[in-house]
């Protein structure tokens, strides 16, 4: 009986995996690895959209805080793939660049992202490049109808122009939506699944 048991054990030790079994295991490992890599790539892309959205919300809130604390009027200009904050000069009655403020400087989106802007439910056609500002003398002579105004106003009272900004990625039709109401509350919009 022990010889028989020993030969059975020897038989199982001598038997290896067949080529088909090895190929099936390798295929399963390959499939699992490719799914894991794909999901990591998609997650990082979603994180990129969320990060850009959170950055924009935070910067609008900084501009709102500075406007209310310092009694200044700010605006936000949005282009196809960038945005920046501008300041109203009440003495010259014009909007101009913020000089020396690294926080509210021009921000460029990563290459594969772009903006859509909606004001009062209407889509706004965005420029490719930000506006260039003229010297105060040239601005004073400019026709009032041609004077520059930003898309979004951030008032010293804490009020903000209601807006909806979509940050889009064309490659996979992913987007995040940021919205603001009249009271200046800026947040991610609720998306319908």
Instruction: For the domain covering 2-188, report its CATH number.
Output: 3.55.40.10
The whole model's pTM is what?
A: 0.71
Q: Is the dihedral of CA 175, 79, 70, 73 positive or negative?
A: negative
Look up residue 147 and give its two tokens.
Answer: 């004077």
Domain residue ranges in the chain? 2-188
The rounded mean pLDDT for the chain is: 82
Over residues 159-182, the mean pLDDT reads 89
pLDDT band at 38; cut points 50, 70, 90: low
pLDDT of residue 52: 93
The CA-based angle 115-117-121, given to 5 degrees, is 150
Interacting residues of 191 by C-beta distance below 8 A, sequence separation 6+: 177
Each residue of 71-86: pLDDT tens digit?
Answer: 999 999 999 999 999 9
Average pLDDT over residues 123-151: 73
Q: Which residue has the tokens 């190929």?
A: 23
Q: Please tell me the predicted confidence (pLDDT) of residue 21.
A: 82
Residue 193 has pLDDT above 50, yes or no: no
């Amino acid at each position: 009986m022990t010889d028989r048991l020993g030969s059975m054990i020897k038989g199982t030790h001598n038997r290896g995996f067949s080529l088909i079994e090895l190929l099936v295991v390798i295929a399963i490992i390959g499939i699992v690895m490719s799914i894991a890599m794909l999901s990591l790539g998609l997650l990082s892309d979603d994180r990129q959209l969320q990060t850009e959205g959170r950055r924009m919300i935070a910067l609008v809130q900084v501009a709102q805080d500075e406007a209310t604390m310092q009694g200044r009027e700010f605006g936000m200009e949005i282009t196809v793939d960038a945005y920046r904050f501008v300041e109203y000069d009440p003495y010259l009655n014009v909007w101009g660049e913020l000089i020396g403020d690294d926080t509210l400087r021009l921000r460029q989106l990563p290459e594969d992202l772009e903006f859509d802007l909606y004001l009062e439910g209407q889509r706004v056609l965005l420029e490719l490049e930000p506006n260039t500002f003229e010297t105060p003398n040239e601005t004073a002579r400019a026709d009032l109808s041609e004077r520059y105004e930003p898309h979004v106003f951030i008032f010293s009272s804490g009020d903000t122009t209601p807006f909806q900004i979509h940050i889009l990625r064309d490659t996979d039709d992913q987007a995040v939506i940021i919205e603001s109401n009249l009271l200046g509350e800026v947040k991610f919009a609720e998306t319908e699944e």
